Chain A
Amino acid sequence: MINKTDNNRAWLLVVPVVVLVAFSAIIPLMTVVNYSVQDIFDPQTRIFVGTEWFREALLDERLHGALGRQVLFSLMVLLIEVPLGIAIALCLPRRGPWVSFCLILLALPMLVPFNVVGTIWQIFARADIGLGGWLMTELGFDYNYTASPLDAWLTVLVMDVWHWTSLIVLLCYAGLLSIPGAYYQAAQIDGASRWAIFRYIQLPKLTNVLVIGVLLRFMDSFMIYAEPFVLTGGGPGNATTFLSQQLTTLAVGQFDLGPAAAFSLIYFLIILLICWLFYTAITHLSTR
């Protein structure tokens, strides 16, 4: 860790970022806050309603449903992608001609736009024209993501795993590469098992990159929008309607600005709270 010096002129270096982000964040956020406490009929007619929209949003069954699905989805995403990502990173060769090849293939899904991911899986998972759906049917599963909520759910989950596991893989792989060879040699001399090597040498070195990986994956999975929207439009029913889609339906579709704004703030606060808890827990654990 670097010993930082006190210097308030460093603010000058930060000013551009603050101005830029403030422009994109504070003004819109103020707008949202403004909406959340008013009932707006038209630009001229506004009534201050206090916390009414918040109470409404908090009691909204649809919000509860979407929030429940969202938490479950993000949790499953992390539970699958993190262990799978670590496992694949451990499988990757450390050197040799294949390294670049594997890394390029792995990185490819990450740069596919969200809606194209939806499109790819929309096609791939169809039983009539898609290889994946066809395979499932051939294997004897009654698979149809447009009709069965469970199938739709699993498809969105697989889609996210396909799209983002690579991020965890690449972060972990870089972490693994940084472990000097002497550590493995010492572990062999100490008679460590494969599991002990993972637990006491590899995993501790991965904590830092995993914190970043888990935070990014949590934030982004909690904001998932385009993939289920393209795949089934949030259906069947509202099985794959997550928070972002619920919010856009409310704001853009029904133009209920007040409730949508209250919803937005609650949504934002939930993410902030979870990230903050996670981050504090991790830093607390690692400095103990």
Chain B
Amino acid sequence: MQESGFKKRYILLGLYLLAVMLPLYWLLNMSFKTNQEILSGLTFFPQTFTLDNYRLIFTDAAWYSGYINSIIYVVMNTAISLAVALPAAYAFSRYRFLGDRHLFFWLLSNRMAPPAVFLLPFVQLYSSVGLFDTHLAVALAHCLFNVPLAVWILEGFMSGVPKEIDETAYLDGYTWPRFFTTIFMPLIKTGIGVTAFFCFMFSWIELLLARTLTTVEAKPIAAIMTRTVSASGIDWGVLAAAGVLTIIPGALVIWFVRKHIAKGFALGRL
């Protein structure tokens, strides 16, 4: 069975990966072209290789601050989500308490709330507490969908850790905070890594809230990309280069968690 299926499997896999990579390649290819070349016809490789598109982005503060803003609120969001979700997930995985199941479903229901629903209330809310156009506003807004998800994923991993470990630690005289940080968290580090990955991912790719809650100071790169559209048409080269640059932080994150992807994505639910 292994040998006969061998070839066909890998052909299908190869074709799929090729299909996944082609659009990305095309973006990369265009980012190294001049606009004249892009518009003059289809070329599979840049004929006149140029770094001008990237130079423009890296020298214009309006451009590169977009990246910095995005990275700041994404990191803030990931940290906040993990910090509050870890103890909560522990409570859900270990204890029965008043209203636990309703609370869990209510939390999850927030993951299901379309950002578009909360658009206007958020603007009013954050304006009234003076957070509008700050990184914190976006980070907090993204908590709406990331915290429930983080609790959900972490709860799965934590349920896989035998309860005897907790009990032994308490018998050995550990306090809860010390047990949790020095014994428990290392046991679920794959889970924490995967949760961080999901939080990073959903915060990084979200546009609607990030764009609406910011105007200047904390404007994300995704919103700045609309600048390439002007009266004279679209600056395709810069648009492509900006697109390529939004993929790089994600690629780095994937590189860091690559060892955990294979098993960690089971999310502890097997």
Contacts from A to B (Cβ < 8 Å): 1-11, 13-14, 16-18, 20-21, 23-25, 27-29, 31-32, 87-88, 90-93, 99-100, 102-116, 119-121, 123-124, 128-132, 134, 162, 166, 170-171, 173-175, 177-178, 188, 194, 205, 208-209, 212, 219, 222-223, 225-226, 243-245, 247-248, 251-252, 257, 260, 264-265, 267-268, 271-272, 275
> What is the CA–CA distance of A116 and B246 in the complex, to the nearest angstrom?
8
Q: Does B196 contact A (CB under 8 A)?
A: no
B143 touching A24, Cβ below 8 Å: yes
Q: Does B170 contact A (CB under 8 A)?
A: no
A2 touching B116, Cβ below 8 Å: no
> What is the CA–CA distance of A134 and B44 in the complex, to the nearest angstrom?
12
A108 touching B116, Cβ below 8 Å: no
B5 touching A194, Cβ below 8 Å: yes
B251 touching A123, Cβ below 8 Å: no
A98 → chain B closest CB, angstroms: 9
Q: Does B1 contact A (CB under 8 A)?
A: yes
Given A104-B255, A111-B247, A171-B267, 15 new contacts (CB under 8 A): A20-B84, A20-B147, A21-B110, A31-B124, A93-B10, A114-B207, A115-B222, A123-B26, A123-B236, A124-B27, A177-B266, A219-B112, A225-B115, A268-B112, A275-B108
The interface residues of chain B lying within 8 Å CB-to-CB of A5 are: 94-96
Q: Does B217 contact A (CB under 8 A)?
A: no
5 pairs, A vs B, C-beta closer than 8 Å? A5-B94, A14-B97, A107-B261, A113-B221, A244-B114
The interface residues of chain B lying within 8 Å CB-to-CB of A110 are: 201, 205, 250
Identify which of B39, B42, B120, B239 contacts A257 (C-beta below 8 A): B120
A106 touching B262, Cβ below 8 Å: no
Q: Does B269 contact A (CB under 8 A)?
A: yes
Identify which of A7, A20, A111, A194 contacts B80 (C-beta below 8 A): A20
The proximity string for B residues 16-49 relative to A, scoring 1 for CB distances below 8 Å and 0 otherwise, is 1101111110110010000000110010100000
B262 → chain A closest CB, angstroms: 6
Q: Does B216 contact A (CB under 8 A)?
A: no
A213 → chain B closest CB, angstroms: 10
Looking at chain B's contact residues, the main secondary structure is helix
The interface residues of chain A lying within 8 Å CB-to-CB of B254 are: 104, 107-108, 111
A175 touching B115, Cβ below 8 Å: no
The interface residues of chain A lying within 8 Å CB-to-CB of B110 are: 21, 24-25
Interface contacts (Cβ under 8 Å), in number, total: 294
Contacts from B to A (Cβ < 8 Å): 1, 5, 9-10, 12-13, 16-17, 19-24, 26-27, 30, 38-39, 42, 44, 80, 83-85, 87-88, 90-98, 100, 103, 107-122, 124-125, 140-141, 143-144, 147-148, 151-152, 159, 162-163, 200-201, 204-208, 212, 221-222, 225, 236, 239-240, 243, 246-247, 249-251, 253-255, 258-259, 261-267, 269-270
The interface residues of chain A lying within 8 Å CB-to-CB of B13 are: 88, 91-92, 102
Identify which of B117, B125, B222 contacts A113 (C-beta below 8 A): B222
B42 touching A2, Cβ below 8 Å: no
Identify which of A1, A16, A32, A105 contacts B17 (C-beta below 8 A): A105
User: Given contacts A2-B93, A90-B9, A129-B39, are A208 and B163 in contact (CB under 8 A)?
Assistant: no
A113 touching B269, Cβ below 8 Å: no
> What is the CA–CA distance of A173 and B124 in the complex, to the nearest angstrom?
43
User: Given contacts A7-B95, A115-B222, are A120 and B121 in contact (CB under 8 A)?
Assistant: no
For residue B148, which residue of chain A has the nearest CB?
A21
Identify which of B12, B42, B83, B140 contacts A91 (C-beta below 8 A): B12
Identify which of B108, B114, B141, B259 contacts A267 (C-beta below 8 A): B114
A91 touching B9, Cβ below 8 Å: yes
Between B85, B110, B120, B269, the greatest number of chain A beta carbons within 10 A of the residue's beta carbon is seen for B120
B21 touching A116, Cβ below 8 Å: no
B24 touching A102, Cβ below 8 Å: no
The interface residues of chain B lying within 8 Å CB-to-CB of A121 are: 23
Identify which of A13, A116, A209, A225 contacts B116 (C-beta below 8 A): A225
> What is the CA–CA distance of A88 and B17 in the complex, to the nearest angstrom?
10
